[in-house]
Amino acid sequence: MNPKRIVVGVTGASGAPYVVRFLRVLLESGTEVHLAVSKMGRRLLFEESGIHDIDAEGFGVPEFSDHLFVYNDRDLGARIASGSFLHDGMFVLPCSSNTLGAIASGITNTLVQRAAAVTLKERRRLVLAHRESPLSPIDLKNMCTVTDAGAIIAPLSPGFYMTPVSIHDLVDFMVGKLVDLVDIDHEMPVRWDPIIG
């Protein structure tokens, strides 16, 4: 059975711990990851997680370097920019309001934007993990636009019903919810199992 192939775009909304954990979960599951990081996404990864190098070693998983493919966000001719590149879904994580607006408007000035537009065009799964708050009416309209086009908006809003005790627990909750969207097995605590009494 072929491993899953997932495209990941990182933009400049706060949320580097989500990115790091998400990439690790994907790679540890045997998923082939195709990664594009915007200029502001690079700044985010450095400022919030101290990541200088956008590679498997930089993300702390050098043993999975053969499963991680990194692209320059200015390279609109990269293979993830083509509809002929088959994959099991794309995530923009975190998704800034700027990137959300560009995708909603069909603007493709960066590889992240172009890959997202192609994912929508080809009717593949596109998940926008929006992080900014509060939301403006423009953000809400853009969310409706991309949802109508087939995308999934997955706000980075962790739940508390699993009684988290650390930031790591909150990150795992959201990462578990995200990988659920592409049917990747995991053991992160996201399943609601109410106690009836």
Confirm whether 194 is domain-assigned: no
Domain containing residue 130: CATH number: 3.40.50.1950
Confirm whether 63 is domain-assigned: yes
- pLDDT value of position 64: 96
Confirm whether 185 is domain-assigned: no
**What are the structure tokens assigned to 38, written together?**
């915007």
Beta strand pairing status for 126-130 and 152-153?
parallel
Per-residue pLDDT of the chain (197 residues; tens, 9 = 90+): 578 999 999 999 999 999 999 999 999 999 999 999 999 999 999 999 999 999 999 999 999 999 999 999 999 999 999 999 999 999 999 999 999 999 999 999 999 999 999 999 999 999 999 999 999 999 999 999 999 999 999 999 998 988 999 999 999 999 999 999 999 988 887 887 776 55
Q: How many domains would you assign to the chain?
A: 1
**What are the structure tokens assigned to 141, written together?**
């309209």
- Measure CA 71 to chain center: 15
Confirm whether 105 is domain-assigned: yes
Backbone angles phi, psi at 20, to 5 degrees: -60, -50
Confirm whether 186 is domain-assigned: no
Distance CA 177, CA 29 (A): 15
| pLDDT tens sequence across 140-167 | 999 999 999 999 999 999 989 889 999 9
- pLDDT value of position 120: 98
The range of the structural domain enclosing residue 66 comes to 5-180
- pLDDT value of position 196: 59
- pLDDT value of position 1: 58
Confirm whether 170 is domain-assigned: yes
Confirm whether 196 is domain-assigned: no
Confirm whether 38 is domain-assigned: yes
